[in-house]
Amino acid sequence: MPELDSPPASAGDSEWDLSPVFSPSSIAMVGASDNPMSIGGMVYGNLKRDFPGQLYPINVVRKVVQGDVAYSDVADLPEPVDLLIVMVEASLVPGILARAADAGHRSAYVLSSGFSEAGAGGIALQAQLTDLATTRNFPIVGPNCIGFLNSFGSVMANFSLAPTADRPRPGSVALISQSGGFGSYILNRAVRGGLGIGYFASTGNEAGVTVADVLRHFVEQPQIKVIAMFAEAIRNPRQFLAAADRARELDKVIISVTPGASETVARAVMSHTASIVGSRDVYDAVCAQRGVLRVDSIDELVDYASILQAGKRMRGRRIGVITTSGGAGVLVSGAAGDYGLDVPQLGPERQAQIAALLPAFASSTNPVDTTAGIGEMAPDTYEKIARALLDDDSIDALVPLAWHSVSRDADVLVALESEYDKPIAPVVTIDADALAHRMPAFADPTRAVRALTAVTAVSGRPRRRTADGIVDEARAAAARDLLRPSMAHGFALESTAKDVLRLYGMPTAEERVVSDPDAGSKAAAELGGPVALKILSYRLPHKSDQGGVVLNRQGDDEVRRGCSELLEYMAAKGVPVEGVLVQQMAKGSLELAVGMYRDSVFGPIVTAGLGGRLIELTADAVLLPAPFGRDEALAAADRIAGGRITHAQRGMSESALGELAAAMTAVGLVAVDHPEIDSIDVNPLIPTDRGLVAVDALFTWAKPPTAAHD
């Protein structure tokens, strides 16, 4: 039993080989039943009907189950099997699985309920499964789930479908759901919506294998192009991120349906302000960064998977529209505008080609409006127009109106869908569902257009690059030396924070730390121009609110007097002082802020947005999970305030934007190198004539864990 020697691991970090689970060549079912109405009977019936490999029923009472010779225990099987399906009382499961691992069976899918969802006893039982899975490196999916299906391998190991039910059409879509009931619903919607389903899996309570593990496995399957998942929690974020990156590498698409804002945990981004981002914002940012499509509804999931299942991509955002109704053409064009797609004018030759097919009062531009008289035109008019648009280099996808799913037009579209590699998203005004089983089809113009945005979102995704020079051990060590004196306190002094940030490439204000008015005056003279004077004290994390800052002092007298007054005021209040920061004043009309906080799931999240008072008024900080590369930082910086900080009349220059990206990158690198820093707040950052300048900065430390006897 070499598994016992394996080092213990948390289930969340395991990398299971899930091939025995999802592509088994032999299966045994514990709890296989002769009663076709029981779950054990239904699942065994499903397996028996389709599965071409070796199949063993296990039943402690019966010798024969559904006509097959039954075994009484997993230890009695004539060979080790790839997969055990388990549907017996919860209390029996840990023993069975332990014997299964002993017997050399390779994996288990536990459908039984009565585990963590059923109170203390169940939680203890489930912990035994987790322990078994990790210590024995034995992949366990479930418990408390409805099973899975693999259309390619004809494995129908679930009770979502009855043994007599039609099987889903095999295809390039995989579905994963933690929730069994909801998974079954999604599967039903997907089948009705015309999706070709390669795999479906429910992961239930996730004692061992998580949704992210299954995701990672499905991404690698060659027939799969789209994986849609419903998850209430990502228990294994590293695996999720790896799967997302791998999907992008293979140009496959992950679609995530994620519950909305009621999950949102209020969280202050920056300690000075009331700005809030919730964990869903973080998940959105992670998905955006990793190329995962986030959707809010099952409609979107089905629509996106439908248009993506053929694996087509778009070179641009330009759609051609064929309509028989001006109204529908307007609605499609309007929706295109709303969703950021273009409905470009056609070139004169193309227009002439189309015009020759249509009566004078029709419209040969884009949208091409044949008018309702299309029925009286030459029979191939519709096809010729569709081809003219699909052949046009200025068109990346086609949105044709088709009146009825059962029509010559519909047949034409099905033929063109397989001939052309540009997506076709027909709007079918009567019975779109029927056409949806032959090709993507939509009952709603808005949804047809929205579906194409899913294609543009995944077209031309560059391979992700994280920060250059992310590993710089010398820099990290130098920063640790700078930070060490602060570690005994709740936060780092502003001067320390800025020294560290400068190491990582953050542009900061010119400044000196002094200890008395003489040195202050000298430092101010060296810096030139008006200066700010700031008390450095571990008692003053928010020093400007605490009387520790004076602004705009110039000349020997003013500076000297400012230093004296500050020091005397602090002495009078008994505040211990580490020094006075003498800082060149930064002038600019805009204030920005960059920060960092740690998400409990996805780790360091860098925020950037308008700063100072503006934070409260605009509340649209962008989030970027660290680490990230310069391109991502630039793109994120360009989204601040809806892109208006750069596109506004008097917006930031491109060089200032680059400096802001550098500031974000610096904060991200500090966060990655120094996990002991809990939050970073650089606010304000001011774009000045001499470049971007960080004016204030605060690092806070994670609170030390409370001792047990505190």
Q: What is the C-alpha separation between 616 and 610, in angstroms, rounded?
A: 9
By beta-carbon proximity to a copy of itself, the closer residue of 148 and 504 is 148
Choose the binding region for a copy of itself from 318-326, 453-461, 472-480, 493-501 (rule: CB under 8 A): 318-326
Which string of DSSP letters, residue by residue, matches 210-244?
Answer: -HHHHHHHHHT-TT--EEEEE-S--S-HHHHHHHH
Report the nearest approach of a copy of itself to the CB of residue 613 (Å).
Answer: 6
Q: Which of residues 131-190 bind a copy of itself (CB under 8 A)?
A: 177-185, 188-189
Among 37, 61, 69, 617, binds a copy of itself (CB under 8 A): 617
Strand partners, 68: 65
Report the nearest approach of a copy of itself to the CB of residue 263 (Å).
Answer: 6
- 520 touching a copy of itself, by CB under 8 A: no
Q: What is the C-alpha separation between 560 and 545, in angstroms, rounded?
A: 22
Q: What is the C-alpha separation between 92 and 356, in angstroms, rounded?
A: 76
Q: Which of residues 21-50 bind a copy of itself (CB under 8 A)?
A: none
Report the nearest approach of a copy of itself to the CB of residue 40 (Å).
Answer: 15
CA distances from 354 to 382, 422, 596 (A): 10, 19, 56
Q: Which of residues 256-315 bind a copy of itself (CB under 8 A)?
A: 257-264, 273-274, 296-299
Report the nearest approach of a copy of itself to the CB of residue 402 (Å).
Answer: 11
Spell out, one character per residue from 406 to 445, where the chain touches a copy of itself: x when CB under 8 A holds, - when not.
Answer: -----------------------xx------------xxx
By beta-carbon proximity to a copy of itself, the closer residue of 102 and 338 is 338
Q: Which of residues 566-585 bind a copy of itself (CB under 8 A)?
A: none
Q: For the beta carbon of residue 334, count every other beta carbon within 10 angstroms.
A: 14
Residue 570: what are its φ and ψ, rounded to 5°? -70, -40
Instruction: Please say whether the dihedral angle defined by the alpha carbons of residues 480, 484, 485 and 488, taken in this order, is positive or negative.
Output: positive
Token pair, residue 370, equals 């044949």
- 372 touching a copy of itself, by CB under 8 A: yes
By beta-carbon proximity to a copy of itself, the closer residue of 119 and 528 is 119
- 470 touching a copy of itself, by CB under 8 A: no
Q: For the beta carbon of residue 416, count every other beta carbon within 10 angstroms.
A: 20
- 335 touching a copy of itself, by CB under 8 A: yes
Report the nearest approach of a copy of itself to the CB of residue 660 (Å).
Answer: 14
CA distances from 605 to 301, 449, 660 (A): 27, 32, 16
Among 436, 610, 621, 698, binds a copy of itself (CB under 8 A): 610
Token pair, residue 90, equals 């919860």
Tell me the residue type at 125. L
Strand partners, 30: 58, 86
Helix (H/G/I), strand (E/B), else coil: 449: helix
Spell out, one character per residue from 103 to 132, where the chain touches a copy of itself: x when CB under 8 A holds, - when not.
Answer: --------------xxx--x----------
By beta-carbon proximity to a copy of itself, the closer residue of 274 and 471 is 274
Q: What is the C-alpha separation between 77 and 86, in angstroms, rounded?
A: 15
Are 485 and 645 in contact by the 8 Å Cβ rule? The answer is no
Spell out, one character per residue from 202 to 241, where the chain touches a copy of itself: x when CB under 8 A holds, - when not.
Answer: ----------------------------x-x---------
- 538 touching a copy of itself, by CB under 8 A: no
Q: What is the C-alpha separation between 400 and 324, in angstroms, rounded?
A: 9
- 601 touching a copy of itself, by CB under 8 A: no
Choose the binding region for a copy of itself from 64-72, 473-481, 492-500, 638-646 (rule: CB under 8 A): 638-646
Report the nearest approach of a copy of itself to the CB of residue 273 (Å).
Answer: 7
Q: Which of residues 644-703 bind a copy of itself (CB under 8 A)?
A: 644-645, 648-651
Choose the binding region for a copy of itself from 11-19, 218-226, 479-487, 636-644 (rule: CB under 8 A): 636-644
CA distances from 396 to 310, 319, 448, 648 (A): 15, 6, 14, 30
Choose the binding region for a copy of itself from 63-71, 483-491, 493-501, 606-614 (rule: CB under 8 A): 606-614
Longest CA–CA separation in the chain, Å: 102
- 89 touching a copy of itself, by CB under 8 A: no
270 by Cβ neighbours in 10 Å (0-12 / 13-18 / 19+) ranks as: buried
- 451 touching a copy of itself, by CB under 8 A: no
Token pair, residue 534, equals 């700031």
Are 141 and 209 in contact by the 8 Å Cβ rule? The answer is yes
- Smallest CA-to-CA distance from 218 within 191, 239, 238, 237 is with 239
- Smallest CA-to-CA distance from 56 within 76, 41, 71 is with 71
Q: What is the bridge-based pairing of β-strands 197-202 and 691-694?
A: unpaired
Which string of DSSP letters, residue by residue, matches 150-169?
Answer: ETTTTEEEESSS-TTSPPPP
By beta-carbon proximity to a copy of itself, the closer residue of 24 and 611 is 611
How many residues bind a copy of itself (CB under 8 A)? The answer is 73
- 330 touching a copy of itself, by CB under 8 A: yes
Instruction: Please say whether the dihedral angle defined by the alpha carbons of residues 478, 482, 487 and 488, taken in this order, is positive or negative.
Output: positive
Q: Which of residues 341-360 bind a copy of itself (CB under 8 A)?
A: 343, 360
By beta-carbon proximity to a copy of itself, the closer residue of 306 and 486 is 306
By beta-carbon proximity to a copy of itself, the closer residue of 650 and 709 is 650
Report the nearest approach of a copy of itself to the CB of residue 189 (Å).
Answer: 7
By beta-carbon proximity to a copy of itself, the closer residue of 373 and 555 is 373
Among 36, 53, 80, 334, binds a copy of itself (CB under 8 A): 334
- 242 touching a copy of itself, by CB under 8 A: no
By beta-carbon proximity to a copy of itself, the closer residue of 182 and 538 is 182
Euclidean distance between the first and the last CA atom of the chain, given in angstroms as a whole number: 43
